[in-house]
Amino acid sequence: MRLLLAALLMVTLPLPAHATAERHIRYGGQMRSFGIDYPAGSLPAPAIVVLHGADATPDRLRRMAAITLAERGWVVIYPRALKAGWNDGRMTAKGKPVQKADDLGFLREMLDQLVAEGLVDPRRVFFAGYSDGGGLVLRVLCQAPELASGAAVVSMTLPRGLDCASAPPVPLMLFNGTADPRVPFNGGPFTVPGQKDQGRVLAADETAAQFALRNHCGAWDEIDITDHFPADGTRVRQHVYRGCAAPLFQYLIEGGGHTWPGTKEYRRVRDELGRASRDINATFEIEDFFTGLLRK
């Protein structure tokens, strides 16, 4: 009855533009939280779930990514990880999960609640993630693909051993820096300073190849992105896969670090995480990709 009343209220009462709230749900015996930007407009609305990286917060990614889709009638959701890290399927050398939380279950419960309230259209839910938040997005595509209408992953590759080949095609956009100090471009250990075994990841090209196979793609065309900002120390190439059952794009950022392309570069961030390309803006590309999928 409470869910029915909530749904009626959500449908009949207008939402103020750019309204923001912090929400909580109990899942797995723990209180979980997520920030939410409510849209102005009709409901249920399309939604984007934006997942922060390790040792970060939803608010930090909200500021960094500056997602604008709430202004265009979308629900924007920023879940919070437990202990500052997501269970994206990475395993230690001893075969134990790097993180143990049931984060897939948490995301499903969160979305089920928002759908029951009449806020989110379950047929139009998209995911974007940075670092191990991107790893959790990839795990969603592998193990809960029915949740996602499309996805974008920044500065992350597939955790080694995560089987994705048998899942159905899902539209995907990838951003990978060749000089990423946390997620090695050519595959290897996921590195977090001061922490022990954080598991291993595949190379960027192996990750794209797995999803190209899954999305039934042919070869890719390479596009050189104009070097508008030579001083940023990066060059960008885009791989556009042909003949796919679901679109697949990959941005390869030569000299790029463990960063969100298009953000302002601070010296402290550059020293720790590497260079951020200014030649593309990941937020613009992701928003354009997702809104374009809805227009088809």
Q: Predicted confidence band at 40 (pLDDT cuts at 50, 70, 90)?
A: confident
Q: How far is the C-alpha of 49 from the C-alpha of 288, rounded, in Å?
A: 16
**Which CATH number goes with the domain that contains 62?**
3.40.50.1820
Provide the residue range defining the domain that includes 47.
2-295
Summarize pLDDT for 130-189 with one digit per residue, the tens: 999 999 999 999 999 999 999 999 999 999 988 787 789 999 999 999 999 999 999 999
Starting at the earlier edge strand, list the strands of the sheet with 150-154.
20-27, 30-37, 75-79, 45-51, 120-130, 150-154, 172-177, 248-254, 235-241, 220-225
CA–CA distance from 225 to each of 146, 166, 180, 256 (Å)?
33, 33, 19, 14
Token pair in block for residue 186: 């050519």
Q: How many domains does the chain have?
A: 1
Question: Among 3-17, 68-82, 209-223, which stretch is predicted with the lowest mean pLDDT?
Answer: 3-17
For the question of whether the overall pTM of this predicted structure is more than 0.85, the answer is yes
* Averaged pLDDT, 6-15: 39
Task: Give the 3-state secondary structure of residue 30.
Answer: strand
Compute the Cα dihedral for 142, 55, 46, 109 and give only its sign.
Answer: positive
d(CA 237, CA 122): 33
- Cα–Cα distance between 289 and 267 in angstroms, integer? 30
Q: Which residues pair with 226 in a beta bridge?
A: none
* Tokens found for residue 28: 């797995």
